[in-house]
Every structure is written in C-alpha cells, then in structure tokens.
C-alpha cells in the first residue's frame, strides 16, 4: 500500500461539549436536514464517537482476537453534494481527535467505502452521503470491520449516545490522516465478476444522474475497452455536479426515468442503466426503454448465479417473492428469506453463506463483495447475461412478469391512523379468508393465488404496499384497487 503524506483536516472543533440531542440517527444510518439536525459540529461528534468506540474495541482486544490483525484506521469517502466535503472534514477531525488514523478515499460511492474497509483491513468505514434525498439533506453511512453493517440494534445507538453526551476521552496521541484515492483495486475487483471474453457487441445508455457514479463508470468502460469488449456507451448526465442540475439522482421517481428511456429508444440501445446519488443501487431499462421492476432483476440475477454455481443459497426480502422463489426452485438453489434492509440482508447472507442477495428496492448484495451491495456489479452481470444467452433484457424478464405480475411498491402517507394500527386493522379485515400470515417484515398475507405485504417505512412517515399474483393480471388490478380504497378510508394518502 502506497502511503500518502500526512495532512490535516481544516475543521476546528469547539473546546467544550455540552450534552445535545441528535435526531438524525435512523435505523440503519444517519440522515438529516442541513442546519436543522445535521451540521459540521454534529458530524465531528459522530466521527469522534465512532473513532473512540472502535478504538476502545481494538485496544482492549486480546492479542489473539481477530481485531488485533486489523489496521487501526477508519476509511472515509463522500459523494458530490456541496455539503459533503465539509461534513467529511469535520468527521475526519473527530476521528483523528479520538486517536484513530483516517484513510481519506476522496469522492466515492458507498460501495467504494465498503470495499476499502475490507481491502485495507480497517476498523470501520464512513460514507458521507444522502443518496437520493433532497439537496438540503446529507448523512453518514457507517460500517465496522470486514464491512459489517452497523444498525440501531448493533452499535449505532451507542454511537449516538456518546455523540450526544460529548463525554469524549482525550487520547495521548492524535490519529494521522492519509489520502488514498486510487480506485484501481476496487475497479479490478468489480471487473472480476464478469468474463469479458464472453461479451458480445452491445450498446448501453448509462445515466449517472450528475452523481458520483460518473468517474467509476469511466474507469469500468476503460477496463472493458482494454479487454477488447465490444461495448458502446452513451453517457447521460455524466459529469458529477453537486447542484444536481438534472434533478436529484433517484430513478424511483417516475419523472426521472424519462431521460434514460428516451435515450434508449433514440439510440436503439440494448440496455439502459441509471443510478442513485451514491450508486449503491442500479436500475435497469430494457431495449424498449421499459423500466424493469427490481424484484424481477433479483430473479434474473439469482438465475444467473445458480446457472454458474449450482445449489448455492440466495437471500431475498419478503415484500415480493413469488417470482424469486420460483426461480430458485427451478434452478436448484436454496432460498433464504430475510427482513428487508441492508443490515438484515447482509447478516442473513453471512449466516447462510449465500452467494447473492437481492431486494426489490434495487439493492443487490454479493458474497464476494464483502457481503455488501453494489450498483456497478449488477449491470456488468447483466451485459454478460445478454451476451451469453443471446436474449434481450425484455426476453429475459417477460416470462417472470407474466408468471408473477406485481403492483410495484405503492407508498402512502399517513394522515390519521399510525402504521401499527393500520396493519392490525387490515389483518382483521382479511382474517375470515384464513391467509398464511408472516410478520417477518411488516405484515404479509398469502391467499394462495395472491398475496400482499404492508410495512412501515424505516426512513420516512410512509406505509408501503406490495401486491402480487400467480399469473393473474386482472386479479392483481382488482386487489390493488380494493386495498388502495381501504387504505384511503383509513386516511392513508397515496404519496
């Protein structure tokens, strides 16, 4: 590893720390509105608390403990939001003041921090990002050693308590800061997921959304060219721009899909690809510009892995599962269902040794990528699949869609009743039908030929509905209308 010169963070913390409340901590990460519940001083406190707690674990470990084999440093990167760099510098200052070294990766996507945490054997990692949130928001995503997630139930609450109390320990020596922004190891690892010799001529439209994806896309395109892969790429909104001149990078918003869809049609491309702001999610469009729901992409990638690696385990979430379960069964895999959310999926994958895990939200997880999610690996796997099968993307997924049509995720804003009350009431509404019930993640009721999942959002004041059937589009339409009407009567307004 090349060691860069030590530099200093420009942020200067206050001299004393009064007890405060920090309400930007969420179930899986930290996300807040700038100047309201997130600023440089809060970022400093979080960095210092994170560094202190990880440092205490490291220095109190027995010499035989695996923690002792780690590099006592924390890696950090940030997205392109105008507020991200200053928040990152404040976080770095907090870690350094906790006596822990910092490796600054520069501008990154979240998956680069995941990779670097394991690659450098670091104690933990931080990505400063608000992903797809509005421009006046930002946040921090944290992982510990071996890129393991940190959640409210597993360390995040402890970090919050220490950050709020301000009861920091002053170490004898401060940490050191190094800039290691070279992406070569990460790019090479991502490329290892595909056999470039199998790639056939394809034309791609890639929409980086003026987000952090652009530089990484360029590096991957260069690698494909060096390998002689006949891939042509049309780049949209490619240059990183923290003012987001083309809107917040969030392809889940219908209006944000039009540019990619129109470009696929205009250029007669084989595939459209779009990313969110920190590119840990990948969204696909077929050769006609049609957006492919994430649940069908999970089935497609599960099939791709099982065709290569027979009998492996695949992890999936319970919001939409008919198609994924059918694919896994038909291709001899072992299905493992997990509560949705990255910390749960990653934990279940580690426990089961699953080769791949997928969520309908367009998060895709890979055993050989530190059990973490990547937005770059899925589109590379997809172009390999298009090449080896000779099929179009629509041909690959049309059978899935026809066999198991789904509503897509429908979001409702609550105005009167709270989520637990609505979930309890809808269970009572359908109790006479005696459905198979699961409360693994919200409420799932399965009636044999159709099912639905209703769950509260972990990050927003919303309740989320998914409905699917076994090959019956009319039944899907009827049940979707019925439940939407019932939710409206409970004061749940379509968001």
Just list the catalytic residues.
Answer: 131
Helix (H) or strand (E) holding 445: strand 443-446
Which residues lie below 8 Å from residue 99, measured CB to CB, with a gap of 6+?
A: 51, 52, 55, 171, 172, 173, 174, 175
Tokens representing 276 are 């969110």
Sheet holding 271-275, edge to edge: 231-236, 202-207, 271-275, 282-285
CA distance 63 to 312: 35
What is d(CA 88, CA 8) in angstroms, rounded to the nearest whole number?
13
Please count the CA atoms within 13 angstroms of the CA of 128 that sit on its side-chain side.
31
Structure tokens at 312: 């492996």
Place of tokens 């899909």: 257
| Nearest C-alpha neighbor of 381 from the set 290, 282, 288 | 282
HSE toward the beta carbon, residue 467, CA cutoff 13 A: 19
Q: Is 282 within 8 Å of 273 (Cβ atoms)? A: yes
The first and second tokens of residue 484, run together, are 């939407």
- Count of C-beta atoms within a 10 Å radius of residue 484: 17
Q: CA of 282: how far to CAs of 136, 168, 251, 291, 375, in Å?
A: 23, 39, 9, 12, 5
* C-alpha triplet 24, 30, 33: angle, nearest 5°: 50
């Amino acid at each position: 590893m090349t060691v860069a010169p030590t530099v200093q963070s420009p942020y200067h913390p206050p001299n004393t720390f009064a007890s405060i409340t920090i309400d930007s901590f969420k179930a899986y990460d930290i996300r807040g509105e700038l100047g309201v519940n997130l600023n440089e001083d809060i970022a400093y406190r979080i960095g210092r608390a994170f560094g202190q707690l990880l440092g205490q674990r490291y220095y109190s470990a027995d010499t035989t403990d695996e923690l002792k084999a780690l590099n006592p440093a924390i890696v950090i990167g940030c997205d392109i939001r105008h507020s991200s760099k200053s928040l990152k510098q404040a976080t770095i200052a907090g870690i350094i003041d906790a006596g822990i070294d910092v490796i600054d990766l520069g501008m990154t996507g979240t998956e680069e921090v995941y990779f670097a945490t394991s690659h450098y054997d670091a104690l933990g990692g931080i990505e400063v990002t608000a992903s797809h949130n509005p421009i006046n928001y930002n946040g921090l995503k944290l992982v510990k050693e071996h890129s393991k997630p940190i959640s409210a139930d597993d360390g995040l609450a402890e970090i919050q308590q220490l950050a709020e109390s301000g009861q920091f320990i002053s170490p004898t020596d401060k940490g050191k800061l190094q800039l290691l922004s070279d992406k070569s190891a990460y790019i090479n690892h991502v490329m290892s997921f595909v056999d470039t010799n199998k790639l056939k001529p394809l034309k791609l439209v890639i929409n980086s959304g003026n987000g952090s994806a652009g530089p990484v896309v360029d590096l991957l395109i260069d690698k494909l060219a060096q390998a002689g892969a006949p891939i042509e790429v049309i780049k949209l909104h490619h240059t990183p721009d923290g003012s987001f001149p083309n809107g917040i990078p969030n392809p889940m918003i219908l209006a944000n899909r039009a540019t990619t869809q129109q470009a696929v049609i205009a250029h007669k491309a084989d595939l459209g690809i779009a990313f969110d702001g920190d590119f840990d999610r990948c969204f696909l469009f077929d050769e006609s510009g049609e957006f492919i729901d994430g649940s069908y992409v999970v089935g497609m990638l599960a099939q791709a892995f099982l065709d290569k690696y027979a009998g492996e385990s695949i992890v999936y979430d319970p919001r939409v599962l008919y198609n994924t379960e059918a694919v896994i069964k038909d291709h001899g895999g072992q299905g493992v269902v997990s509560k949705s959310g990255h910390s749960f999926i990653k934990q279940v994958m580690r426990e089961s040794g699953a080769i791949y895990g997928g969520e309908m939200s367009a998060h895709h997880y890979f055993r050989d990528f530190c059990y973490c999610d990547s937005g770059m690996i899925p589109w590379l796997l997809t172009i390999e699949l298009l090449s080896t099968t000779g099929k179009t993307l629509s041909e690959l997924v049309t059978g899935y869609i026809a066999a198991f049509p789904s509503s897509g995720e429908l979001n409702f804003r609550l105005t009167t009743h709270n989520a637990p009350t609505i979930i309890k009431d809808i269970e009572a509404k359908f109790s006479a039908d005696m459905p198979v019930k699961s409360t693994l993640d919200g409420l799932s009721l399965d009636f044999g030929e159709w099912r639905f999942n209703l769950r509260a959002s972990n990050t927003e004041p919303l309740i989320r509905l998914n409905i699917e059937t076994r090959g019956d589009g009319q039944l899907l339409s009827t049940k979707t209308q019925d439940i939407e009407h019932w939710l409206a009567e409970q004061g749940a307004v379509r968001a």
